[in-house]
Amino acid sequence: MKKIFLIVSILGFYHIAKAQLVEPHTTGMPGQEMSETPPTHLDPNVFADLKVLTYDASSINGLTLKQKELVYYLSQAALSGREIIYAQNYKHNILIKRTLEEIYAKYNGDKAGGEWMLFDTYVKRFWFSNGIHHHYAEKKFVPEFPLEYLRQMINESTNLNLPKENGETTEQFAERIANLLFDENLDAKKVVKDKGVDKVALSANNYYGEGVTEEEAIAHYAAMGKPGEKTPVEYGLNSRLVKKNGKLIDLVYKSGGLYGEAMDQMIFWLKKARDVAENPAQAKHIAMLIEYFKTGDLKQWDATNINWVNSTEGDIDFILGFIEVYGDAIGYKGAFEGVIQVNDKEASKRMEVLSKNAQYFEDNSSIMPEHKKANVVGVSYRVINAAMESGDAAPATPIGVNLPNSNWIRSTHGSKSISLGNIVEAYNSAGGSSSLNEFYHDQATRDRIVAHGKLGSKMHTAMHEVIGHASGKINDGVGTPKETLKNYSNTLEEARADLVALYYIYDSKLVEIGLMPSLEVGMAEFDTYIANGMMLQLSRLDLGENIEEDHMRNRQLNASWAYEKGLNDNVIEKKVMEGKTYFVINDYAKLRVIFGDLLKEIQRIKSEGDYAAAEALVEGYGVKVDQELHKEVVARYESLKLAPYSGFVQPKLVPEFDAKGNFIDLKVEKEGYTEQMIRFGKEYPFVKVGE
């Protein structure tokens, strides 16, 4: 249902949950890790607050010829839709993308000077965020090079093919693009989630047209459903809502509709993939997805996901479509993403015991008996290796996914959960230890994290996806969380899944079934979770800001609620030593009980659709920032010179054909970040300017 993204706050990383395919989840969010490499222009893969990593896709080499062909066609389908996320993020992103890439390729001036390096950094940030707004903070980032330098580059570039309007001069175009880039108050935030404002009108994303209000959008989609509907579709998931002649109209993403050329390209490659599918169930799933992309029919989307959940044979799987709704402040619109997967058979088999015990975890949960599922169905879990990622899943990628997102499909038919093993390993290999030494004050805690932190994080991700999102049920007659909890539904769903993982990671059952050597693993996970939720993640905010991103809200909510509820027993102690703040856990068993109490309350809120309680919980614990602590954390991180976010360049998949055009092999090659982004821009330019 959601994705989990990585936050590296210690040795390897700390993850967060993000999303589902349908709306069950792809866990993870744009991953982040704390790199030991200080940002410097000498490393082309380190820029601004970002570091670009590579992941190992060599598992492709062990596939059969037919499987390699399938992976190639699916990857081409995913890449063909990659520009859609740019257009969804902001209405002018494609215009800006075409302009920046033209200048980057054709500027004839000095490319060794400081101003060019600033331009180079801006373009790389634009690619990383799929637009002009930060991929995680959602705020617009403006160029650090002078405005005049933009004009100079345009004038000193040869044969620029600029996306000018009819009759527009180059000078007029330069002024128009400069305004979009340099005016920090124009379309300043991609997603606005502040309480008491029109979140649709103020968000700069491109899911709603000019003049559409939050109240109108919610009413529009509410009118499409029926009270007590048992199998509601995800209304509004694959469309842009616009107003024409005073009437609201959904422009559907489909062949012949919005993003039609990109949809047609994806259909072209999916047809090829269908013909080399591993088995009939997989071929049927691909055929159903093709039909959905042709029609945009959300009932077809549901049918496709039901078939996908039940298609569990074979070594190749994929996620492709309009999935996660985090980018829409009111939670209706799905962002495009693609993840092509190769099963890691050995790792999946080791973790198979988790899904086999799903009923145990449901039965023994801390939630109220009336909110438990009597029969947990269709919970499958695999550790996979990513072969290609695109759209909302790249360059910042989830480390775990649980889909589909539709609650009724999950309850009736089940869900699929994956952990992206090669992504996790890449994060682990890139991590350093300076933040560990800085934010964990005693050697015993640091030693425990070094010994058990990686396994604790892996187990948290797995349980978040497999057990967390699959647990609990909504009371009969209560609407979907999107309807009842509204803008707080995503935060609370991620908080709930995290709490399920936290509750069980300190349970001897995991030792009994062989997933952990001891409860020391759970203790290490508690240590990192509390430190991250209480303070470490604040390094990602600008001073003076409150928290808006759902995963950050979720982590602070869980940690700060637990801290407050444990004050009388000193469960979590806030220590200030030599001007530095630390959060130290004194009683791990009591902390588990507190996590269980919060899990019970959040499940009650979801099951009963209690909006008032949802608002009080999120606004009371997940939004406000301790500004003095924030200043301290930022200063401490700055002294470490860490790149707080990371993402990935994709493998370059090179097909080989014989003289008759038959597919004979697929080579996996490495490619530089800039080279890849330029190549992608040339090979997959399937979204029109203004579309």
CA 275 from chain centre, in angstroms, equals: 31
Determine the length of the chain.
Answer: 691
Q: 569 vs 431, 561, 573, 590, CA distance in Å?
A: 35, 14, 10, 9
The tens digit of pLDDT for each residue in 626-663 reads: 999 999 999 998 888 878 889 999 999 999 999 999 99
Q: Tokens for 510?
A: 């995991």
- Domain span holding position 427: 3-63+258-647
Whether residue 25 has pLDDT greater than 50: no
Strand partners, 655: 666
Over range 330-352, report the average pLDDT: 95
Q: 669 vs 159, 362, 397, CA distance in Å?
A: 32, 44, 20
More confident residue, 482 or 211: 211
In 203-278, which ranges are continuous DSSP H helix? 214-222, 260-275
Residue 551: inside a domain: yes
More confident residue, 641 or 576: 576
Strands 316-322 and 247-252, bridge-based pairing: unpaired
Burial class (CB in 10 A: 0-12, 13-18, 19+), 315: buried
State what percent of residues in the chain have pLDDT above 90: 86
What average pLDDT does the structure give for the chain?
Answer: 92
Work out the pLDDT band at 268, boundaries 50, 70, 90: very high
Which of 28-42, 314-328, 464-478 is most confident? 314-328
Strands 415-420 and 379-391, bridge-based pairing: parallel
In this structure, the number of other CB atoms found within 10 A of the CB of residue 343 comes to 18
State what percent of residues in the chain have pLDDT above 70: 93
CA 580 from chain centre, in angstroms, equals: 32
Whether residue 36 has pLDDT greater than 70: no
Q: 176 vs 154, 455, 618, CA distance in Å?
A: 13, 51, 40
Residue 574: inside a domain: yes
In this structure, the number of other CB atoms found within 10 A of the CB of residue 518 comes to 12
Residue 127: inside a domain: no
* Secondary structure of 287-302 as H, E, C letters: HHHHHHHHHCCHHHHH
d(CA 364, CA 350) in angstroms, rounded, equals 23
d(CA 53, CA 134) in angstroms, rounded, equals 18
Residue 274: inside a domain: yes
Helix, strand, or coil here: 94?
helix
Lowest mean per-residue pLDDT among 10-19, 116-125, 622-631: 10-19
Q: Tokens for 124?
A: 């790389």
Residue 211: inside a domain: no
Burial class (CB in 10 A: 0-12, 13-18, 19+), 171: exposed
- What is the per-residue pLDDT for 41? 47
d(CA 270, CA 263) in angstroms, rounded, equals 10
Work out the pLDDT band at 186, boundaries 50, 70, 90: very high
Query: How many domains are contained in the chain?
Result: 1
Q: Torsions phi, psi of 645, nearest 5? A: -125, 145
Provide the greatest CA pair distance for the chain.
Answer: 77
Residue 464: inside a domain: yes
Work out the pLDDT band at 8, boundaries 50, 70, 90: very low
d(CA 240, CA 582) in angstroms, rounded, equals 46
d(CA 502, CA 525) in angstroms, rounded, equals 8
Residue 224: inside a domain: no
Contacts for 39 with CB less than 8 Å, ≥ 6 apart: 46, 47, 48, 49, 51, 641, 643
The tens digit of pLDDT for each residue in 294-331 reads: 999 999 999 999 999 999 999 999 999 999 999 999 99
The tens digit of pLDDT for each residue in 401-452 reads: 999 999 999 999 999 999 999 999 998 888 666 789 999 999 999 999 999 9
d(CA 109, CA 387) in angstroms, rounded, equals 38
Q: What pTM did the predictor assign?
A: 0.89
d(CA 59, CA 57) in angstroms, rounded, equals 5
Over range 354-382, report the average pLDDT: 93
- What is the per-residue pLDDT for 392? 98
Residue 24: inside a domain: yes
Whether residue 35 has pLDDT greater than 80: no
Whether residue 541 has pLDDT greater than 50: yes
